[in-house]
Chains A and B, each alone.
Chain A
Amino acid sequence: MDWTQQIDSQHSGTLLRLLYLMEDGKRFCLILAEYTLGEYRNTIIKELASHYPDQAIVSAAHSEDIVATLKATAATASVIHIIDTQCWFDDSKDYSLLHRLNQRREWLAQHVDRGLVIWLSVAQVSHFAHEAADLWAWRKALVNFCQAIEATPTPLVYRQVIDEDNSTLADKHQRLTEIQTYLASRTAYSLADALLWQEQARILRRMGDLDAALACTLQSVNINKAHNDKRATAVSYGDWADVLQARGEWDEALRIRHEEELPIYVALGDKRNIAVTMGKIADVLQARGAWDEALRIRREEELPVYEALGDKRSIAVSERKIADILIYRGELDQALLILTERCIPSMKAIGATKDVAVFQGIVADILQDRGKWDEALRIRRAEELPIYKALGDKRSIAITMGKIADVLQARGEWDEALRIRREEVLPVRVALGDKRGIAFTMGKIAEVLQARGEWGEALRIRREEQLPVYEALGDQHSLLIGQTNLAQLLQTLNPQQHATEIRQLLTTALNTAIDLHIPEQDIIRKRLQALEPDSKP
């Protein structure tokens, strides 16, 4: 089956149940399908055709002898849908048609011997159970494809959306309060409420409160599961894995993606989300240095799907991630080629200006790594920043300014680098409530102070404003990098005086790096070994 947006996500679980119970449709299996809207019923039947190409539809109203019709149809069809069953429930006929079907139950199983889906309205189901009790007893399942007939007013809280990246901390808090107040008033959660829990999770994650984000995501998973909305469950599992990834809990993130998220998308035939999920798996593998497998996934499992879907943006993003891998592997020329000749032109062609800026930024990163600072600065100032300013994307402006500061730092222009970080980057991070971003920027400020010989302040910042934040956020990856940098600082200050602390910091960082299976462990190991060349960590 190929997932389509025409199917209501809340019925994704029902669809999977039907497919599982029916199997290939080539043996007797009776499913009673409840529906409210005929058009939607037809949509479901149409979508099932991709799974059962030789399925057939039989109208009970147009079949004088339904049993004979079913037998004849079974000769060439697998699954048979029976629709227009109103005549079975005609009082004037005293349900005789239904009784006859009921009494031929064994005959049906023997001579029709196919998957049968009988489509019934809500009212007809209880009549069916009573008048065809033996057939009812043989049902594999009663599945529900009902939709609301009348539109109900949607509370305002469901319709308000904020830009998680660029809204201020005050806006974020306000939105969180709105959601929390509303959810507290609910006696039972609906699927729409699951989305609110998800939105909370995303805001909290952006604010760096990963524990709270995880709790909200779990709530969303549970609500979606309770409503048997498999697709929504997969989406919320994906969110869960995203939070775990942000915390550096990569093993668990991978497990959730492989065992909970992916199987649902595969069962639903949701090719796009399969590709997206595989891409996120590749992200983790990339971060762990498993570049070959990450590259294989991007080239063999992601790109082909986006190419088949004609999704230029996703193609470009995948290619950019391939470029990332090539950068990690030191194949910078190849990476640059992909970015400048494929990604950027693609994004310009579809008018995706923000993506153009993102890709320009990556090009600038590569140039920076190669020491081509002037060109890197030019790109940042002339290509990246103008786009973000035009879009009012404060977060991206701050990040870009931070990268400009990196270049200036590398060139020894420390005062300007410091000014940018203090006056143009940090205030934005604070306004957005981006705790991780604040800690990161403080670390960068500490770097500059270190370079200027202001050791005391650098040390204070690392100890009091950076590491505790990463610890509180549970961000293991950032923490181990922070610990390594602090060890480096102490080493520069006075290796003998701080020997114990240096060793403790590097050992803790190394153990975390080993747990996370990331390449940084080699660098940290070497630094530890350098402390005492004869000892083994």
Chain B
Amino acid sequence: MSALSPTELLALTRAAKRKLRYDSPLDPDNPEDTALLVDLNEARGNFSQDKLLFELGVDAISQTLDEENPYQYIVFGGHRGCGKSTELRRLAKFLHQPNLYYVVLVDALTELDINNLNYSDILLAQAKVLIQQLQDDAIPLEAAYLSKLEQWFSQRVNTQLSERQLVGKLETGGKASTGLPFLGNLFASLTTAISVGSTHKEEIRTLVRNSFSEFASAFNLLIRHVEEQLKLAGHGNKILFIIDGTDRLSNNDANNFFVRDIHQLKQITSHFIYCTPIEILTENNRIGQDFSVFRLPMVKIAEKGATDYHPIPIAKLTELIHKRTDPRLFADTTALDQLIKASGGHIRDLMRLMDFCLAETLGRKLIDTDIANTAIKFLATEYQRVIQQNDYALLVEIDRADKSHVPVSQQSCHLLYNLVLLEYNSYWWQSHPVVRTLPAYQLALTA
């Protein structure tokens, strides 16, 4: 490793720190973000995005769409910090092509108040985002296909809600009262009323619920027409809604949304990918009956209980870190290797470990194995906080058992959601590597 001057060392440390952010997904349309992107699907084991594409009627090799593919309702989930949002955005970018889909990405977290969310909120948000996108892309639509939605609104909603109830209630005088701009405004008004936590949120929901069939019929008519127009305009053959943020639903809300209200969700006939809490995927077997389930597994750096590591995932994660951290900041390759293995393939934890390492250097030293060990110890101490004393025996039991041993219980699910237990492809479990360094775990091994 070539010697760095103190000034260079400090500058590179600061640069690395700026790139080690994990509080927002990478944006494939942002050149700075795309420079950091690493395709990790090959490293997740037996996971392949191609299966999800196949489900959507897309042939990964020829990149063609089977337009007769039945409507798909897909749930997409995985551990916190495994890269779901980044993968969804990459998928959206890949699929949003003239010969494939017209992708409408709905971020429920920014459009709505995710607290106490229900199906009608999401559908209204989908309508809003779709209409806005169509306006932005200047897709021409015939008024006849918009009129049903306009009627639904004016007869079912606007007459029932007073001025104070509908924030920004539309004026019929100066503004357009028909057409896409009008529809855009009205759905924006509705979603705003819901997202600001207005006390009239429930009234809006009741109105939507009571006239849902009418709404669904009108929305479906619009969707069919839009798809024809999109094809003519060369903007895609079918619409695909990707909804991110619904993995943040609380357990009750998630069960209501994905199970209880599935009938309503499926009344909208289109293609959907919903981001789903891992709790639902693990605890609720019924979800597989109504959705195609795709779980994004952790990057699989080794097989269960193995001491040798898979070279491709290690290389991919090395690449991920090197895109954020100048390799010259490492005293040798051993330290980074150590960190990758300690992360268990959890990307956010890997970046967290890197952050801890940089903090230890104070921008004045290279990262060596001592510093890596210190960082690992810090992370282990944090995990220690979420583990109860009687969890260690279960962790040891799972680690020692065959891959098929995935005892779903309240206790194990708690450990899974807190990332104490990590799930890998074909869905076997193993405790987080840093957890295995804890004295209590070591003690449980000898019991």
**In the complex, are the beta carbons of A109 and B418 less than 8 A apart?**
no
- Which B9-41 residues have a C-beta within 8 angstroms of A? 17, 22-24
Binary contact track A88-104/B, C-beta < 8 Å → 1, others 0: 00000000000110111
Q: Inside 8 A of B114's CB, which chain A residues have their CB?
A: 103-104
- Complex: how many Å from CA A126 to CA B81? 19
Stretch at the interface among A4-12, A130-138, A311-319: A130-138
* Interface size, A (range): 35 or more
Q: Would you give the 0/1 interface string for A105-135, flagging 1 where the beta carbon is closer than 8 Å to chain B?
A: 1110110000000000000011001100110
Given the complex, which residues of A lie within 8 Å of B417, measured CB to CB?
Answer: 133
One of B158-166, B178-186, B355-363 at the interface: B355-363
Interface residues of A in 137-164 (CB under 8 A from B): 137-142, 144
CB of A189, distance to nearest CB on chain B (Å):
15
Tell me the complex Cα distance, A332–B240, Å.
Answer: 89
User: Are A141 and B356 in contact (CB-based, < 8 A)?
Assistant: yes
**A103: B residues at CB distance < 8 A:** 109, 113-115, 248, 250
Contact A28 B23 (CB under 8 A): yes
Do the beta carbons of A106 and B109 come within 8 Å of each other? yes
- Taking the complex as formed, is B414 at the interface, i.e. its CB lies under 8 A from any CB of chain A? yes
Q: Which residues of A contact B115 (CB under 8 A)?
A: 99-100, 103-104
Question: Considering the chains assembled together, what is the distance between the CA atoms of A21 and B362 in angstroms?
Answer: 11
Within B407-435, which residues are at the interface with A (CB < 8 Å)? 414, 417-419
- Asked whether A129 and B385 contact (CB < 8 A) given A100-B115, A106-B110, A137-B81, the answer is yes
* A17 interfacial contact with B, CB 8 Å: yes
B365 located at the interface, meaning its Cβ lies under 8 Å from any Cβ of chain A in the complex: yes
Residues of B within 8 A of A16 (CB): 359, 362
Asked whether any CB of chain B lies closer than 8 Å to the CB of A263, the reply is yes
**What total of A-B pairs shows CB separation below 8 Å?**
77
Inter-chain contacts of B348 with A (CB < 8 A): 137
B56 to chain A, nearest CB (A): 26
Residue numbers in B under 8 Å from A225 (CB-CB):
374
CA distance A23 to B355 in the complex (A): 12
B8 at the interface (CB under 8 A from A): no
Checking B80, B362, B374 against A20 with a beta-carbon cut-off of 8 angstroms, the contacting residue is: B362
Chain B 373-409 interface 0/1 with A at a Cβ cutoff of 8 Å (1 = within) = 0100010011001100000000000000000000000
Check: B364 CB closer than 8 A to any chain A CB: yes
Contact, CB under 8 Å: A21 / B355: yes
In the assembled complex, the CB of B172 is this many whole angstroms from the nearest CB of chain A, namely 33
Interface residues of A in 236-295 (CB under 8 A from B): 259, 263-264, 267
A125 to B348, CA, bound (A): 20
* Distance in Å: Cβ of A390 to nearest Cβ of chain B: 47
A99 and B23 alpha carbons, distance in the complex (Å): 18
Residues of A near B355 (CB, < 8 A) are 21, 140-141
Q: How far is the CA of A244 from the CA of B320 in the complex (A)?
A: 42
CA distance A264 to B359 in the complex (A): 12
- The answer on a CB contact under 8 Å between B109 and A107 is yes
Q: State whether B359 touches A109 (Cβ < 8 A).
A: no
**In the complex, are the beta carbons of B378 and A141 less than 8 A apart?**
yes
Chain B residues within an 8 Å CB radius of A23: 17
Q: Which residues does chain B contribute within 8 Å of A137, judged by CB atoms?
A: 80-81, 348, 419
**Which residues of chain B are within 8 angstroms of A136 by Cβ–Cβ distance?**
386, 418
Provide the residues of chain B in CB contact with A140, threshold 8 Å.
352, 355
Please give the distance in Å from B373's CB to the nearest CB on chain A.
Answer: 10
Is the beta-carbon distance between A133 and B109 smaller than 8 angstroms?
no
How far, in angstroms, from A99 to B358 measured CA to CA in the complex? 32
How many whole Å from A306's CB to the nearest CB in chain B? 25
Structural contact, A126 and B362, CB atoms closer than 8 A? no
Which of A30, A109, A142 makes the CB contact (< 8 A) with B24?
A109
- CA gap between A106 and B352 in the complex, in Å: 18
Taken together as a complex, chains A and B put the C-alpha atoms of A99 and B250 apart, in Å, by 8
**A370–B250 Cα gap in the complex (Å)?**
88
CB < 8 Å neighbour of B359 from A17, A138, A139, A144? A17
Do A130 and B24 touch across chains, with their CB atoms under 8 A apart?
no
- Residue on B with the closest CB to A228? B374
Q: Closest CB of chain B to A123's CB: distance in Å?
A: 10
Query: Using a CB–CB distance below 8 Å, which chain B residues touch chain A?
Result: 17, 22-24, 80-81, 109-110, 113-115, 245, 248, 250, 348, 352, 355-356, 358-359, 362, 364-365, 374, 378, 381-382, 385-386, 414, 417-419
| Contacts A/B (CB < 8 Å), 25 sampled | A16-B359, A17-B356, A20-B358, A21-B355, A23-B17, A99-B115, A102-B248, A103-B250, A106-B109, A106-B110, A126-B386, A129-B386, A130-B414, A133-B417, A134-B80, A134-B248, A136-B418, A138-B23, A141-B382, A142-B381, A142-B382, A142-B385, A225-B374, A259-B365, A267-B362
18 other A-B residue contacts (CB within 8 Å) besides A104-B115, A263-B362: A23-B17, A103-B115, A106-B24, A107-B109, A107-B110, A110-B110, A125-B385, A126-B385, A126-B386, A130-B418, A137-B80, A138-B23, A140-B355, A141-B352, A141-B355, A142-B381, A144-B381, A259-B365
A contact residues vs B (CB 8 Å cutoff): 16-17, 20-21, 23, 28, 30, 99-100, 102-107, 109-110, 125-126, 129-130, 133-134, 136-142, 144, 225, 228, 259, 263-264, 267
